[in-house]
Amino acid sequence: MAGAGEGHRWVGLATDFSEGSRAALDWAAANLLRAGDQLLLLHVIKEPDYEQSEAILWESTGSPLIPLSEFSNPITAKKYGAKPDAETLDILNTVAAQKEIVVVVKVLWGDPREKLCQVISETPLSCLVIGSRGLGKLKRVLLGSVSDYVVNNATCPVTVVKSASTDA
């Protein structure tokens, strides 16, 4: 990634715009992000809608990096098939201004486990922060956990953040 100068880190944040993802964003803002950092927001869409998005063009590599200001525009988000919630966008814009960081978004299509690890291996991230859905042990065995998979296969340090309402 061009422009990553000395002292500037690329921090990844996986999001599905859920409560768990907002908890991970809150944790990263409070404990990790510092002025000059660049936050790479990674959003994976499991089943692309080829008729209404850029998925067919960017499916293998993921979207180009989208500045947060552009991604905050509903027309741009829809173009990529993303449905970000207003609360997460508000938090991101606030954190970007307060912490003096640059936020860019990359939308990917496919299996979240594989796509997140693919981006991590191709991008010089200092670390990745990911939320936990809080699956119970049985569901985690049956469905598989994205965060478990990423922790075990990523080429950078990974922090898994549980939301306050997660019991497991």
168 inside domain: no
Beta bridge partners of 26: none
**pLDDT tens string 141-162:** 444 578 888 988 899 999 999 8
Decide: 128 and 116 in contact? Cβ < 8 Å: yes
Residue type for position 40 = L
Beta bridge partners of 127: 11
Shortest CA distance to 96 belongs to which of 44, 157, 42, 25? Answer: 25
Whole-model pTM: value is 0.85
Q: Which domain holds residue 22?
A: 10-162
95 inside domain: yes
Determine the pLDDT at residue 54.
Answer: 67
154 inside domain: yes
Mean of pLDDT values over 79-94:
94
56 inside domain: yes
3 inside domain: no
Mean of pLDDT values over 57-64:
82
**pLDDT tens string 9-60:** 999 999 999 998 999 999 999 999 999 999 999 999 987 776 656 667 777 8
State the total domains in the chain: 1
CATH number at 151 reads 3.40.50.620
Radius of gyration of the chain (CA): 15
Determine the pLDDT at residue 42.
Answer: 96
